Structures are given as C-alpha cells and as structure tokens.
Chains A and B, each alone.
Chain A
C-alpha cells in the first residue's frame, strides 16, 4: 500500500539577507527588503530538510507518494518548483489574497489542516521546525492538534517501519529515539543534513507538473473561521549603537596581546 507523505513548505524571504537590506512597513506591519538589494524568495530552509526527509523514506520504501503543500497569497513558481525538482511527486498550493502577510499561526494551521483533509488520506506530515520569517514554530503543533494526531518535533532522522514513525532527536545533552503510530506529524531541523540537489531528470519531470491550486473558498473556509487570535501592534527594526573599541598593535599578534591587557584592565579576565 502506498505511503502518503505530505511535506509543508513555506515561501519566505531569504533569511540570509544582510541586516542592512531589511525594511519595515510600520503601517502594514510588513517586512520587506530594500528593492535595490534584489533579495529572492526561497523555500524555508527547514522545509527543504523536510522534503529531503520524505525523499529518504521514499528511497528506502519505494512505494511512497510525496505531496508538497504550501499556503500563501502569491508564489514564485520557479522557487516552489524546487521541491518538485528534488523529487517530490505532487504539489498543492493554497493561494488566496486573504493569506497575505499572515503572522498568526492559528490561521495558517487551520488553512493547512483544511487542505490536508481535502487532499484526503495521509500517513505522515513532515514540516520544518519553524518558518524563518515569523519564527513561530507553532504551525505543525497546531496541525497535529487540529488533526488529532501525535506530533514529534525537532527531529534529525525520520524512518517509517510497520505503520510507526521512528525519529531521532537531540535536545541539550539528551539523545532520544521516539516513535508514534501513523498518521503523525513530525518536524525536522537542519541537523537532518543537506537537502539533495535536483537532478536533470527530476528538473525535466518537474517542469511538466502542474501544481493543484485551491482558494480558501475551495477549502470551505470562511473569514469567520479564520478570525485572528493575535494582533500585531508594532513592527520595527531595532536600533543598534556601535560602541566597539577596536584594539590594535604593531601587528596582529601585538593586537592579540593588547586585547588580553585590555580585558584585564576591565577586570573581565
């Protein structure tokens, strides 16, 4: 029997954007980048780890279908298609103007849960540990609650055996192996390892695939069902005042020595 895996993936502004390129629209409570910096959107890094986790299960078990699911107001198709070029089978995009700049995880989780139900059967949902825009780390936990299934967060290895998902995770000094009955939600972190590069064959196959696109109406979701639970009052870029004293010397070694003397003078060492 085919194992159905859904991987959630969010399109975000490249989080490695240099700090100086960030701009904030204080009225709209929206983060943007300096247009001249030409920051490209990317798939949230931890979600690429999620796609990789799903494809490793597919490599091992073969009879596996991987569906990528995303929700947003607008998508850059070249960016989202990477998830297909890596080797995923299908893609479902929930695209609706009402999903513009949503930072309230309760809304996103409800939308994704409705989409999962419309997709129909699933055995495993793999998500990233957090989306690098609002850093909420809540949507997967909400998905698990709304779908009434177990959730194993922050994993670095995901295997499926006999209708069980078996995960490794490390928190602090503790290394754990945790298992749960399918269906289940797991979240992955970067320790899972580098996501694979798309092969030429998969890029060609992905080019021919058309994502399924649904609106909120298609999911039967009304505005009332998506009433916000949080309100953003302000959004701003914190001011930093540099007060760095640069320590120099005759050469770099001398500067190192002077640094030690400085720290002693300041009673820090």
Chain B
C-alpha cells in the first residue's frame, strides 16, 4: 500500500515516565525510520502521561501520539488494544515496533491479528531491506537456531527483545510534535478483570538492571546455597541473584529469579553461573552479559563454550575459597 508511511513504536509509560525498554525501541525505530527516510512516531497510552511525551522526543521520536482516556489508567489489554488499533488505523504506519515484555508480548500479536497482518516475534535485530521490507533476526528452537524473517503483511510488525540496543543520548533540545488523541473507549470493550493485584517489594538490586548477577542451577543440589553461599557472594558484590528454570521448578527460589527464554533478560557486566549447564533456553536470557564466569563440575559442560572464565570443579570446594578471596580483596 503506497500510502503507508513511517515507523510507529508502541511505548510504555509508568508513573509519568517513559519505560527504559521504550527508549530502546525508539533507538531501533530511529534506525529504521532513517533508512526509510520517513518519520518516527510513538504512541503513549495512559490517563495522565506526565513528562513522557517530552522524554520520547528527547530520545528520538519525531511525533508523539498522546493517547489518553480514563480507561487507560492502568494497563488493561482490551482497552489498550482498542486504543492502539484506532491509532494504527488512522495513521497507517508502514512499520510497528513493540518491546518484548508483559505488555508488548500480549498486545503485539493481538494487534497483528486485528489488523490482519503478522508480527515477527522476539527479534534481536531489525532492519529495512532494499525493497523497503522489514527484516528481523530472531532465535528459534530455544535459541539453538536463528531465523531471518520478513513481513508480507501490512503494517509490518516486530517485537524486539530488550537490551539488544542502547537508547540514543537524551537530547532535550530535539524538536518534535505532540498530538493529543482521545480514543473515547467504551467500558464494554474490557473483557477481563483484575480481581487482586499484589506487588512484591523489590529486595536488593533489580535483576534486569544489575551490573553483576550471581546465578545458581540444579548443580547446587538444594535450596540452602541460595540463602548461604550464593547470597553471601551476591551481597559482597552488590549483585542480584538469578537462577535456572530447573531450580525454580524445584521450588528452591521464587520464579522472579529465573533468567532465560521464559524468564528475565539480563545484561550485566559480570555474570557468575554456578552449577548451571548452559542450556540454550537459559543462555537466551543472558546473551547480552559482557563477561560470563562459570563454575561447573563437568569440564565438558556446554556453558564453557559461552563463558570467558571457567573453573571445572565442585562448587562446594570452589565457591567458599572464591568468596573468601573476594572478601579479602575488599
């Protein structure tokens, strides 16, 4: 369709601030818009958007669709979808980008079905080819294989994994346009209801933001090391604690510590993995870690293909001496 134009990011706002993953999507979107020589816009949804529209311009947007409605006060998928569908129908973007996460992963595919197109899931990289087609590179089969996929539908859509690109430097003198939009949502669009919502207080450093992460796997043998050695080391380094799915499924530590394809995506400077085999589904969550250190009893463990430094040994012997030396150097 000749009249489709521009790149639209579906942004996320929390407490009047732009979500970090949205600033990353703006950087991805800027690259696509520049190679298309078309504008970059972002849709922000809420009851009150605070300073987020200005922030979005400072991080690279040319235009902000400020979509406000009382029904958008809290994220509710049906209301969000109804509003975003209206924006997408009115402004006919060529490309739509969303961040992989609780909101993007739910809204993206449903929006695609509503617009009778498809979304390329979980991209590590997106680009525009010579025919102005969107192309995404994404892991499949748990990260064991990579696929390069292009869109045949319109608009062309991608869900991009967080931590796959740095936000642009904030520039508060950048110019852009903020367009207010009231979708006038009917309460009847809402089809599911939150009966109860409890937010657990964050203990220590947030896993996704931590500069150092210490993770434990099934090789730890029980829950105890998570409250002893692993915790001691994490405290000493100011690190967050991660875990493999095997450990979470065994109930040794709560699910919010899981790193991986179906857990959290982390990008620490240092990732210390103890008793984790290095299955592709785990590595899918930490491929952006700068330096991986592995302690594993099995010198053939696949984790040593990804690690920068490794010790082949029993953690029960290696870890206490490691901790003691770290403490001595403090």
Contacts and interface: CB of A to CB of B under 8 A. Distances in A.
Interface of A: 13, 15-19, 22, 24, 29, 31, 103-106, 109, 129-130, 132-138, 141-142, 144-146, 149-153, 166, 170-181, 184, 189-191, 228-238, 240, 242-248, 251-257, 259-264, 266, 268-269
A107 to B, nearest CB: 9
Interface in B261-278: 261-262, 269-270
A151 B106 CA distance: 9
Interface in B200-232: 200-202, 212
Contacts of A245: 308-310
Interface residues of B, number: 84
6 contacts: A13-B141, A19-B280, A106-B112, A149-B191, A252-B311, A268-B291
B141 A247 contact: no
A152 B121 contact: no
Q: Which secondary structure dominates chain A's binding surface? A: mixed
A180 B152 contact: no
A104 B120 CA distance: 9
A247 to B, nearest CB: 5
A212 B310 CA distance: 53
Given A173-B200, A180-B192, A31 B141 contact: yes
Taking each of A16, A151, A184, which has the highest tally of chain B beta carbons within 10 Å of its own beta carbon? Answer: A151
Nearest to B249: A190
Contact of A141 (B109, B192, B199, B293): B109
Interface stretch (B31-39, B51-59, B142-150, B168-176): B142-150
B187 interface: no
Interface stretch (B4-12, B20-28, B90-98, B312-320): B312-320
A256 B311 contact: yes
A136 B147 CA distance: 12
B141 to A, nearest CB: 5
A137 B113 contact: no
A257 to B, nearest CB: 4
Nearest to B147: A235
Contacts of B310: 244-247
Given A191-B255, A231-B152, A238-B146, A252 B200 contact: no
B149 A179 contact: no
Given A19-B280, A137-B105, A244-B304, A105 B118 contact: yes
A256 B306 contact: no
Contact of B146 (A137, A236, A252, A269): A236
